[in-house]
Chains A and B, each alone.
Chain A
Amino acid sequence: DAKTTQPNSMESNEEEPVHLPCNHSTISGTDYIHWYRQLPSQGPEYVIHGLTSNVNNRMASLAIAEDRKSSTLILHRATLRDAAVYYCILPPSPGAQKLVFGQGTRLTINP
């Protein structure tokens, strides 16, 4: 099964960039890397996903290593509202058409 490894927690300061790492050394060649976040007392929220190339959207950027065994979610300028649990997710097996959550990284933003 494709598994992800993330730090349990990270801390950053408001208005600074945040780099959230994820290791996925068993990823298969066709699996997309997904990132979701969950604010307190809310359902998870889609952040970004990508296959090989780096991806950007209004919320964040996703930098994918050339060998695809790791990726980094980049929040360019953190705000207090970015405090959440961030999940890096892959399908649990090659080509599996579902997403299974790992433990995620709890991000704290200091004012």
Chain B
Amino acid sequence: DAMVIQNPRYQVTQFGKPVTLSCSQTLNHNVMYWYQQKSSQAPKLLFHYYDKDFNNEADTPDNFQSRRPNTSFCFLDIRSPGLGDAAMYLCATSRDRAGYEKLFFGSGTQLSVL
């Protein structure tokens, strides 16, 4: 059974049109992460939530926002997608902060920007 679920699997949006990607988890984990993975590159951490505490990476553009309305759900909002934002977006969870705990990843959402 899927434990970290990302919807949709594929998302197409237009240049400049806001888009929201969703992630849900059945693990009741405290921490949820968003990674961006461009073609042939390693996943890049954008931000994470420890419970309701938001932690942004220093180099994450302001165009990327996130919401976590409850333990189970986390959303990634891209306010004005550019062509360079086309990528796979990966959601992950961990029971506690990831230095010691392992991460559980979803299958990702492949975002295309036209």
A4 CB, min distance to chain B CBs, angstroms:
11
The residue that A98 contacts in the complex, of B4, B98, B106, B108, with Cβ under 8 A, is B98
Min CB distance, B67 to chain A, in Å?
Answer: 19
Contact B108 A99 (CB under 8 A): no
CA distance A101 to B43 in the complex (A): 6
- CB-based nearest B residue for A34: B102
**Which A residues touch B43, using CB under 8 A?**
44, 101
| Least CB separation from A47: chain B residue | B102
B90, A44: Cβ atoms closer than 8 Å: yes
Q: Are A100 and B45 in touch, CB under 8 angstroms?
A: yes
Kindly identify which residue among A32, A46, A98 contacts B45, using a CB–CB cutoff of 8 Å. Answer: A98
How far is the CB of A58 from the nearest CB of chain B, in Å?
14
CB neighbours of A32 from chain B (8 A):
99-100
| Interface residues of chain A: helix, strand, loop or mixed (majority) | loop
Give the distance in Å from the alpha carbon of A95 to the alpha carbon of B44 in the complex. Answer: 19
Min CB gap A44→B, angstroms: 5
Contacts of A36 in B (CB 8 A): 103
A104–B42 contact, CB under 8 A?
yes
Contacts of B90 in A (CB 8 A): 43-44
Complex: how many Å from CA A104 to CA B41?
9
A97 and B55 CA atoms in complex are apart in Å by: 11
Is B68 in the interface zone, CB < 8 Å from A?
no
B104 at interface (Cβ–Cβ under 8 A)? yes
A95 vs B105: C-alpha distance in the bound complex, in angstroms? 22
A29 interface contact, C-beta 8 A: no
Which 6 pairs, one residue from A and one from B, show the smallest C-beta to C-beta distance? Answer: A97-B97, A43-B105, A101-B42, A46-B102, A99-B98, A97-B99
Q: Other than the known A97-B50, A103-B42, what 17 A-B pairs have Cβ atoms closer than 8 Å?
A: A31-B99, A32-B99, A32-B100, A43-B106, A43-B107, A44-B43, A44-B103, A46-B104, A91-B99, A98-B33, A98-B45, A99-B98, A99-B99, A101-B43, A101-B44, A101-B45, A102-B42
